[in-house]
Structure 1
Amino acid sequence: MGAGAATAAPTEVSFAHLIDPNRKWYNNRRLIALHAWIVLLLITSSTNGYDGSMMNGLQSLDQWRVAFNNPSGGMLGLLNAIQNIGGLAGYPFAPYVSDGIGRRKTVWLGATIMLIATALQTASQSVGMFIGARFLIGFGLTFAANAAPLLVTEVAYPAYRAPLTSLYNSLWYSGSIIAAWVTYGTFRINSTWAWRVPSLLQGLPSILQFVLVLFAPESPRWLVNKGREAEALKVLAYYHADGNDQDPLVQYEFEEIKAAIVFDREVSHNVGWKSLVATPGNRKRMRIIVALAFFSQWSGNGLVSYYLNRVFDLIGITGSSTQLLINGILQIWNLFWAVGAAFCADRLGRRFLFLTSAAGMLLFYMAQAICFAQYSKTEAPAAGHAVIGFIFLFYAAYDLAFTPLIVSYTVEILPFQLRSKGFNIFNFVISLALIFNQYVNPIALDALGWKYYLVYVCWLAVEAVYLYIFLIETKNRTLEETAALFDGEEKLEQIKHEAEVHERREDNSPADEKGEYA
């Protein structure tokens, strides 16, 4: 699909006239409750962000390096990559669990596994025990990270779906900030608790989910798919219309969900793994999803995310305190830009944010390479400090799209029947890219130094061209309308026809008008 077609999406909001203008996220008790549940799901991403920043910080701690015999090269790569290897082990099972037992229970299962793993990691007495615990953290995170964003996007109030789903990946930095400042605070502890305390605190999001997540609302789309339509309508009515199951918005959502699921399951048989590449529309989806997953880890960000201390060493900043302080400030900077971009997803559009992000990353990474080369020749402190400045600017550009939008865009372009499987492929590609990245980066930095940056400069140019050609605008559509965009407008018309047929046939009152949902 060329660039012209990629911008052809309409901008009107088909459900806008059904939304009560007086029902806002801050003045409606049930919307506030719904958003509290959504925050509980969003912190799944915090666990992942915490891990990356924690490992960055631990590499600057003498206590950690001594405890594990100063790991370097391949061993250091393994310590960083093992969580993603554990994630790979969970990928064959995660979508079946999400679709089988539901989104809530899958998040709870992942949180339980991560709690056990965090305890083992904190108690580690050897590098082997530490590696095993991190493998288990990755395995559990796969289940929670597969289900949590799906539940967010499927239960959110339509007007807030895009920014809330975009916040999922943005809150990666909330965990990253906590880890960065915890390791900065504990490096003065003259014992193994300098690294055990950060490891212990990694379990906090999982504790909250273990205790609370089973009380959260289940996905109405999952409930409809399981034939539990009365429960689905009750969830929609309770949180989206103060319990009124005859509210026009609730009826619109309910009928569209039923029609889309019936269409995919009975008309197009769009349910198996082969369906991911069986139709032109699904091939378009996978072409974008796989590219976004790979780009998100191969845009040069991996160097700073996992090997910031190595970069600092190469530009003459070797003090542990200084390295940890800059890392902590960087995570706050990232969170600011990512959250801001998440709230602009519907206003500015996905395509605009992605293209702006790609252009900014290319420009600022090129500037990093130039300053790095200058420092390698002169060792001038100004050149080293300029590298740090351009790292911050690079991440501002990265955070415009590749932090907030990669998850929200992926889940919104997939139809319900393929959502968990397609999102699983997305996470699988990320893990493969991360594992390779985490092994290659320390070796390449040692061998090439600043010249390694030139590889990423060339690759960022490729990314920008790819996004310009293939990325499709999806703003201001419901989930079902967005999915239909890839399959042609005729599918959208068929879905709407099915919804009208259902509405004529059924009584549409399976739940009490003011039913409560716990």
Structure 2
Amino acid sequence: MPGSGDWRLYFLCAVAIINSATNGYDGSMMNGLQSLQSWKAYFNPADPEQGPDPATRGLLNAIMSVGGTIGVFAGPPASDRLGRKLAIVLGSAIMLVGVALQGGAVNIGMFIAARFILGFGLSITSNAAPTLVVEIAHPTHRGKITALYNTMWYLGSIIAAWVTYGTFNAFQDNWSWRVPSIIQAAPSVIQLIFVWFYEESPRWLVGKGRDEEALRILADLHANGNKEDDLVQLEYREIKETIAREQEVAKRSYAELWATPGNRRRTFIAVTVGFFSQWSGNGLVSYYLTDVLNNVGITDQHSQLLINGFLQIWNLICAVTAALFVDRVGRRPLWLFSTAGMLIAFILQTICTGVYSEQLNHAAGYASVAMIFLFYAAYDSAWTPLTVSYIVEIMPFTIRAKGMAVQGLCVNLALFFNSYVNPVALTAIGWKYYLVYCCWLFVELFVVWKYYVETKGRTLEELAEIFDGDQAALVVAEARRLEALNLAAEEKANRDNLEVLDASEKV
């Protein structure tokens, strides 16, 4: 179990996890702003009831994904060259520039530019912060902390929803939307204050040849300063071995992702997880809840903001609960339950929305809102806690980093499509656009049933047998070869150390 440094360790992890809440804050805040009359009137005084046209609203939300996509290529170099701490500082500082422009925006162009900068900065911190969490967390608690990192998206969304509701009641002018925009700086400010109390990643330090410093930090955080502790020594050896493996893997190209049938299947799953996590109909509510509620007759600002606030609380409860049960239930049952549940809920929501639109049946409109809550109960049972961890499990070490990069790119591409196309389509064909997602969810369910395998409790050999078939022995042999290289490198290092000691004794 962790030593007496627990409180310090988990406080540092909690501060880093705040980064995950930043993205959730943005989605919920944009939902809230699009309900505010002051925001709509400020950015489209010619038509204050409608606000910016659908294409402009699509660009407002999509541009953050564009910044994030570019930032995907800037995040890893920043984290590897500057270290996790300074990368968090860099990303947070960039985000503060974006927040300042967003909160002080005087026209729609300035607001759009601000959101691009926010997306770019967030992508850098989103690479460094979770990496730091994983690399300083105690091994016995690392799994739950990693799962909770993803679920904290909803903590940010809850804060944004209720802040926007509060400013709606407190202000009747432009401060009702400027205040939530400015408060978006809070996570970055918190990280900039406390990052100086972080310990740097021991893994990054070993990679830079600062072994003694890395060992001290492991001892301070996991063994109350005892460098000879068995766990600390084990972690230290594992870090050195992993870095040796990565030096071998770094020589490999992206072509390995599709070089064999097994790897093509793994890559296919990574791509589908990336797209499905954003294309399941959740994108409609994540940024355009106002449009969805308008389609069922709920048009007043007060009701829309309240529904947004309670929906985010519901999401957090469902996501955290699912994260705590992932290891008990298994991955494949959760994938199937989640996707089938989303399909059923979305079909029911489509029916209810269609009945309201055609017959102005208010009971059907209220039922449609209930289906949104049911949909997210299903979505959060797998697509929130498993989106990252499942890909880590199915990818062999030799292509894991590249597979994760491909998945991240797919998420950003899907987000851009969602953000830009959804408002335009909702305006053009209304509730009938939901039929597209009903059909698409059938496709998702088939893909999950056909290709998503169970990984709970399975060894490297068992997973290789599933994905690689006759080539499984070669895949396992390659993994074992890398392990052998690590052992050889470690033995050589030990011999070199002994020779140095012998030489010093002779002197």
- How far 1:373 sits from its partner (Å)? 2.1
Aligned to 1:15: none
TM-score (norm 1): 0.85
- How far 1:60 sits from its partner (Å)? 0.5
Aligned to 2:305: 324
- How far 1:506 sits from its partner (Å)? 5.7
Aligned to 2:415: 434
Aligned partners of 1:167 and 1:235: how far apart in 2?
Answer: 24
Asked if 1 retains the 8 angstrom alpha-carbon contact of 2:20 and 2:152, the reply is: yes
User: What are the within-5 Å matches in structure 2 for residues 93-112 of structure 1?
Assistant: 93-112=74-93
- Residue identity matched to 2:315: N
Aligned to 1:77: 58
Aligned to 2:228: 246
Matched, 1:36 2:11: yes
- How far 1:157 sits from its partner (Å)? 1.9
Asked if 1 retains the 8 angstrom alpha-carbon contact of 2:244 and 2:486, the reply is: no
Q: Which has the higher helix share?
A: 2
- How far 1:89 sits from its partner (Å)? 2.6
Segments of structure 1 that go 5 or more residues without pairing to the other structure are 1-22, 511-518
- How far 1:283 sits from its partner (Å)? 4.3
Matched, 1:466 2:466: no
Aligned to 1:10: none
Aligned partners of 1:490 and 1:201: how far apart in 2?
Answer: 53
- Residues 207 and 130 of structure 1: CA distance in aligned 2, closer, same or farther (over 3 Å): same
The Cα offsets for residues 135-154 of structure 1, whole Å up to 9 and x where unpaired, read as: 11111011011222222223
Aligned to 2:186: 204
Aligned to 2:41: 66
Segments of structure 2 that go 5 or more residues without pairing to the other structure are 45-50, 498-507
SS for the counterpart of 1:92 is helix
Aligned partners of 2:489 and 2:327: how far apart in 1?
Answer: 30
2:333 aligned to which of 334, 352, 358: 352
Identity of aligned residues (%): 52
Asked if 2 retains the 8 angstrom alpha-carbon contact of 1:337 and 1:399, the reply is: yes
Aligned partners of 2:400 and 2:90: how far apart in 1?
Answer: 19
Aligned partners of 2:93 and 2:399: how far apart in 1?
Answer: 26
- How far 1:118 sits from its partner (Å)? 0.6
- How far 1:319 sits from its partner (Å)? 0.8
- How far 1:324 sits from its partner (Å)? 0.5
- How far 1:275 sits from its partner (Å)? 5.1
Matched, 1:398 2:379: yes
Aligned to 2:121: 140
Aligned partners of 2:438 and 2:124: how far apart in 1?
Answer: 34
Matched, 1:215 2:197: yes
User: What are the within-5 Å matches in structure 2 for residues 284-299 of structure 1?
Assistant: 284-299=265-280
Matched, 1:226 2:208: yes
Asked if 2 retains the 8 angstrom alpha-carbon contact of 1:95 and 1:420, the reply is: no
Aligned to 1:374: 355
Aligned partners of 2:233 and 2:459: how far apart in 1?
Answer: 14
User: What are the within-5 Å matches in structure 2 for residues 476-495 of structure 1?
Assistant: 488-494=475-481
- How far 1:311 sits from its partner (Å)? 0.9
- Residue identity matched to 1:302: G
- Residues 201 and 466 of structure 1: CA distance in aligned 2, closer, same or farther (over 3 Å): same
Alignment RMSD (CA, Å): 2.9
Q: Which moved more, 1:422-431 or 1:73-82?
A: 422-431
Aligned partners of 1:192 and 1:482: how far apart in 2?
Answer: 56
Aligned partners of 1:395 and 1:496: how far apart in 2?
Answer: 42
Q: Which has the higher contact order (CA 8 A, sep 6+)?
A: 1
- Residues 391 and 35 of structure 1: CA distance in aligned 2, closer, same or farther (over 3 Å): same
Asked if 1 retains the 8 angstrom alpha-carbon contact of 2:245 and 2:486, the reply is: no
- How far 1:507 sits from its partner (Å)? 6.0
Aligned partners of 2:485 and 2:6: how far apart in 1?
Answer: 29
Aligned partners of 2:340 and 2:14: how far apart in 1?
Answer: 32
The Cα offsets for residues 19-78 of structure 1, whole Å up to 9 and x where unpaired, read as: xxxx25xxx432332221111111111111111111100011000001100202111111
2:21 aligned to which of 46, 52, 57: 46
Asked if 1 retains the 8 angstrom alpha-carbon contact of 2:75 and 2:124, the reply is: yes
SS for the counterpart of 1:245 is coil
Asked if 1 retains the 8 angstrom alpha-carbon contact of 2:297 and 2:365, the reply is: yes
Aligned to 1:308: 289
- How far 1:302 sits from its partner (Å)? 0.6
- Residue identity matched to 1:199: S
Asked if 1 retains the 8 angstrom alpha-carbon contact of 2:245 and 2:483, the reply is: no
- Residue identity matched to 1:46: A
Aligned to 1:55: 30
- Residues 409 and 282 of structure 1: CA distance in aligned 2, closer, same or farther (over 3 Å): same
Asked if 1 retains the 8 angstrom alpha-carbon contact of 2:274 and 2:407, the reply is: yes
TM-score (norm 2): 0.87
2:147 aligned to which of 166, 172, 192: 166
Matched, 1:118 2:105: no
- How far 1:132 sits from its partner (Å)? 1.0
Aligned partners of 1:503 and 1:317: how far apart in 2?
Answer: 66
The Cα offsets for residues 104-159 of structure 1, whole Å up to 9 and x where unpaired, read as: 22122111100111111111111111111111111101101122222222332222
Aligned to 1:516: none
User: What are the within-5 Å matches in structure 2 for residues 401-416 of structure 1?
Assistant: 401-411=382-392
